[in-house]
Amino acid sequence: MPKVNVKLKVNGDPYEVAVNPSGTLVEVLREDLHLTGTKIGCQTGDCGACTVLVNGKSVCSCLTLAVEAQEKEIITIEGVGLSYDKLHPIQEAFINEGAIQCGYCTPGMVLSAKHLLDKNPNPSELQIRQALSGNLCRCTGYARIVKAIEVAGEKMKNPVKEK
Amino acid sequence: MSAIKGKNNLIGASIPRIDSPAKVTGKALYAGDIILPGMLHGKILKSTKAHAKILNIDISRALALPGVKDVIVGKDTPCIKFGNWRLFPNTQDELPLAVDKVRYIGDEIAAVAAIDPDIAEEALSLIKVEYEELPAVFSIEDALAAGAPLIHDENKELKSNISLDRKIDVGDIESAFKTADYIREDTFVVHPHSHAYMEPCATLAETDSEGRVTIYTSTQTPYIVQCLLASTLGIPENHVRVMKPAVGGGFGGKMELRKWEFCAAFMSRRTGRPVRFVLSRQEELESGRRRHGMNLKSKVGFKKDGTLVAKDFEAYLNGGAYNSMGPTATFLCGNFGAMLYRYPIYHYRGYHVYTNLPPAGAMRGFGAPQAMFISESQMNMAAIDLGIDAIDLRIKNAMVTGDKIEGVTTISSAGFVESLEKVASETKWKEKKKNLPKNKGIGIGCYSFISGGVFNWFNTQYNFSACEVRAYDDGTAHLLTMSCDIGQGSDTVLRQILAADLGLAVNMIRLTAGDTAMTPKGDLGTWGSRVTLMNGNAILDASKKIKEQLAKMVSIKFNLNVIHDVAFGDGKVFAKANPKYGMTFGEAVTLWVKANRGEELIARGVYTPRDKGLTTPAYSFGAQVAEVDVDPDTGVVTVEKITTAHDCGTVINPLGVEGQLEGAIQMGIGYTLSEQFAMKNGKTLNTTFLDYKVPSAEDMPQIVSYKVDTYEKEGPFGAKEAGEGLAIPTAPAISDAVFQATGYRCKDLPITPEKILRSKGKI
Ligand code: FES
Ligand code: FES
């Protein structure tokens, strides 16, 4: 099948890739752009490990065709925190609250959390749990992930000046 | 949780995981993330028949497909059998690829390496396998019926599908039951359960010009993979380097040599190119390892006052088509059947049965969730019949520190009674139980678990656990270990242990873990909750040797009186009585290096559990109370609250232990209520997370936990198992709570709305 050229902006950078018409966004991110922070846990849209933001909305990149991302702005985990010294408050909270164990669900969790907090800086515990309902984690029992999102939400509302 | 921090403020410190910055930024590399130039993509062709002879395999069309670089079938390989139970070679029943026969749907037959995954997939569809179907058996009953097909007829020593049995006889069971006032006998069925680690297995292998293989693989046991990969390839062990990258969960499911590891290595040797396999979730759920389903029977006798008299326990394990870790599960199920309470007389008969199902293997709890589901349920049922509160009955019979099972094990520390008392008081157990609102229930389940196994089934010639510590003149140290962090947090805990003992900051410890070419040989890796205790002890062994050397330097430099102790803390080495007689760690190392004419200060540490009985050096204990609501119309169970009190010795990292506990509860709720394989004629029908229901964030209850303080003398700084055993109590606790709410007593996991409604005559 002839390949299709797709232009997309990932974490602010412009890319142009030739993709299979049936190729998924997660394949392009991982295999073509080597952005392997986005994980694959199921490829059927059931685990959320592949969650990325497309024009600000969280999507399963395993169910999104690469051609659908044409001219779109994509944020992956690599675009959330710029470096170890400049982590996003969600990432800091995930670390400090112990929300990470094996870490395989973590990138997807962070992006779902970002999507939630960008829309709703004051989520209730129930709203957080609902927002995470498409992201499976087998290690943590979710408790610390929920806590981390609460802590991050607080911090994003009242950013403390850097010391 | 106690806030007191031991040794240099590091033991008991909630240090965030050291690997979390890499994981939270997506920089941590898992096996499937690693890309090498020229890499090929591998796929495996699996049997579509549950039991069949292979008459012919035609790979010609697959080989001819442009982009395909290699296709292999069983006959191309050295055809060397493997299995984890090297101590009994007869149990090693798997071939890297099936040769004459397939034994389950999913049995690996052929493998392809191609320039991209789509071509590899297409090539699989071009391989033609001719089968001659054989009768297949899926249940334990059918596998043991007269005239059942022998699944491993090539093993002439086996007269039936029982691949292995295990007997434990402590005391005279017949006469013991005669002295009992109350005897109950129950039959239970427990179902298989998927590890459902979020990272599907992946492996990347490359071969150098001399035929040496390096594989990056999602494993918890690099040494086991190294040995078995070398033997199946027919090359020296030292020609295989296994490297463990970040691993996305294991829970026991990644502790054997797997077929794709062999195929990646074998095809990389044949093609001279790196070969990567990444499994799909469908493959994982369809034919991946799982927890054993079992048929269980237990007869237990009590005196009127609740004192236990005897137990006769029988387990049939549905092992699926190969032994895998089933023999260990058969042994451990028997050991765990004897745990928690003082059974003066105990008999066990365990049978590992081959069927034409996907093989079951090791999974969190390893024989204990099954053994304790029936024993804990029986305690709850007996309590009702005897008219004794379920917690009181347990306290009456609970194992305590110093208890012994003659010739088998000694309980060197136990905080079980305290755990029971704690959950009783914190949940207001008795009061609540008396005044249960309609459709609400409260129930209890308990557990005990091992801190690593003693039985040397792998037949390793090396120490069970080992490490190397290198001390440097810049004030840092390097810890090399084969223990694998698979999400449980050992990279952090082990560094904490070494840092605490050497008096260094945690970030002054570099860690190399799980690389067989670098780390000391022979450590058996991560399983059976062995790492903190066994590797922790090995680390303290090495650390002691380093400290002795550095203490000498301080002693000489300051002319210390021989009675003075030398302490390590804050990056310094100093006379305990007078810290001004001291120097930095780095200065002490420098002096040592000079005194030794340029030598590097390196120490090896080892641990092997000698004279620790037959099972484990140390046991953890705990009690858990579940509170549930059951919808009377739909039968849907909502778990509202789980309260746990547990004894895991000294907690090295409370944040880590809490996370393990919460994760165990999620897995336990799934096991009890929502996760079940749908099988038809040996085929797994639910192969997506849509149909195989792992609990989500919305399904989780309120979680409360308490730590009971004990000190385990066998463990480093008093630590022992934490986190694995917690997979055990949730099922019996929820089941008991469901009984209180509905009158339905589950003897056949999982608990489903249908079973509840049927018990009420509602469907
Ligand atoms: S990989 Fe996309 S949802 Fe699981
Ligand atoms: S941390 Fe392992 S899956 Fe979430």
Q: How far apart are the first and last CA of chain B?
A: 46
Q: Is residue B422 part of a domain?
A: yes
Domains and CATH numbers, chain A: 4-79 (3.10.20.30), 89-157 (1.10.150.120)
Interface of B with A in 160-199 (CB under 8 A): 195-199
Residue B700 with chain A: CB contacts under 8 Å = 129, 141-143
Q: Do both B530 and B620 map to the same domain?
A: no
Q: Do both B202 and B107 map to the same domain?
A: yes
Q: Of all atoms in ligand 2, which is nearest to the CA of residue A103? A: 1
Residue B576: pLDDT band with limits 50, 70, 90: very high
Task: Provide, rounded to the nearest whole percent, the portion of chain B with pLDDT above 90.
Answer: 96
The last residue of one of the domains, among B254, B271, B287, is B287
Could you report the per-residue pLDDT of B464-520, keeping only the tens digit for each? 999 999 999 999 999 999 999 999 999 999 999 999 999 999 999 999 999 999 999
Which element (helix H / strand E) includes B557?
helix B536-557
Q: Do both B551 and B670 map to the same domain?
A: no
Q: What residues does B605 pair with on adjacent strands?
A: B467
If we measure between CA atoms, which residue out of B661, B415, B581, B509 comes closest to residue B8? B509
In the predicted structure, residue A50 carries a pLDDT above the cut 80: yes
Under a CB-based contact definition with an 8 Å cutoff, are residues B390 and B445 in contact? Answer: no
**Which ligand is nearest the CA of A112, by number?**
1
Q: Is residue B241 part of a domain?
A: yes
The residue among A43, A100, A124, A125 with the most chain B CBs within 10 A of its CB, best to mutate, is A100
Best substitution site from B17, B194, B198, B247 to test ligand 2's pocket, by max atoms within 8 Å of Cβ?
B198
Could you report the per-residue pLDDT of B30-43, keeping only the tens digit for each? 999 999 999 999 99
Average pLDDT rounded to a whole number, residues B51-63:
98
Q: What span, in angstroms and rounded, lies between the C-alpha atoms of B677 and A70?
A: 40
CATH number at residue B591: 3.30.365.10
Q: What three-state secondary structure class fits B685?
A: coil
Q: Is residue B147 part of a domain?
A: no
Average pLDDT rounded to a whole number, residues B41-63:
98
Under a CB-based contact definition with an 8 Å cutoff, are residues B419 and B645 in contact? Answer: yes
Q: Do both B445 and B553 map to the same domain?
A: no
Q: Do both B510 and B447 map to the same domain?
A: no
Regarding the beta carbon of A48 and ligand 1, being less than 6 Å apart is answered: yes
CA B687 to chain centre: 23
Pick from A77, A102, A129: CB nearest B25: A77
The answer to whether residue A24 neighbours chain B at the CB level (below 8 Å) is no
Pick from B28, B30, B663: CB nearest A101: B663
CA atoms within 13 A on the CB side of B534: 30
A and B: number of Cβ contacts within 8 A: 180
Ligand 1 geometric centre to CA of A63 (Å)? 8
Asked if ipTM goes beyond 0.95, one says yes
Angle at B439 between CA B433 and CA B441, to 5 degrees: 35
- With CB atoms and an 8 Å threshold, state whether B26 touches A49: no
The answer to whether residue B665 neighbours chain A at the CB level (below 8 Å) is yes
B277 is written with which tokens?
Answer: 């396999």
Q: Is residue B169 part of a domain?
A: no
- With CB atoms and an 8 Å threshold, state whether B663 touches A110: no
Q: Do both B589 and B668 map to the same domain?
A: no
> How many structural domains comprise chain B?
3
Q: Do both B499 and B521 map to the same domain?
A: yes
Q: Do both B574 and B675 map to the same domain?
A: no
Interface of B with A in 32-51 (CB under 8 A): 32-33, 35
Q: Is residue B478 part of a domain?
A: yes
Ligand 1 geometric centre to CA of A133 (Å)? 13
- With CB atoms and an 8 Å threshold, state whether B700 touches A141: yes
Q: Is residue B629 part of a domain?
A: yes
Q: Do both B414 and B560 map to the same domain?
A: no
Regarding the beta carbon of A107 and ligand 1, being less than 6 Å apart is answered: no
CATH number at residue B261: 3.90.1170.50
State the residue for tokens 């000498």. Answer: B552
Q: Do both B39 and B115 map to the same domain?
A: yes
Pick from B247, B278, B662: CB nearest A102: B247
Interface of B with A in 669-728 (CB under 8 A): 688-690, 694, 696-698, 700, 703
Residue B556: pLDDT band with limits 50, 70, 90: very high
Under a CB-based contact definition with an 8 Å cutoff, are residues B509 and B472 in contact? Answer: no
Strand A4-10, strand A73-75: pairing: parallel
The last residue of one of the domains, among B234, B267, B287, is B287
pLDDT score recorded for residue B186:
98
Ligand 1 geometric centre to CA of A61 (Å)? 7
Give the length of chain A: 163
The last residue of one of the domains, among B232, B261, B287, is B287
In the predicted structure, residue B4 carries a pLDDT above the cut 50: no
Q: Do both B578 and B474 map to the same domain?
A: yes
Q: What is the pTM of this model?
A: 0.96
Q: Is residue B617 part of a domain?
A: yes
Under a CB-based contact definition with an 8 Å cutoff, are residues B750 and B370 in contact? Answer: no
Domain of residue B597, residue span = 2-27+462-607
Average pLDDT rounded to a whole number, residues B78-107:
97
pLDDT score recorded for residue B405:
82
In the predicted structure, residue B354 carries a pLDDT above the cut 70: yes
- With CB atoms and an 8 Å threshold, state whether A145 touches B697: yes
Q: Is residue B601 part of a domain?
A: yes
Average pLDDT rounded to a whole number, residues B286-314:
98
Q: Do both B619 and B546 map to the same domain?
A: no
Ligand 1 geometric centre to CA of A60 (Å)? 6
Count of Cβ atoms closer than 10 Å to residue A145 Cβ: 31
pLDDT score recorded for residue B642:
98
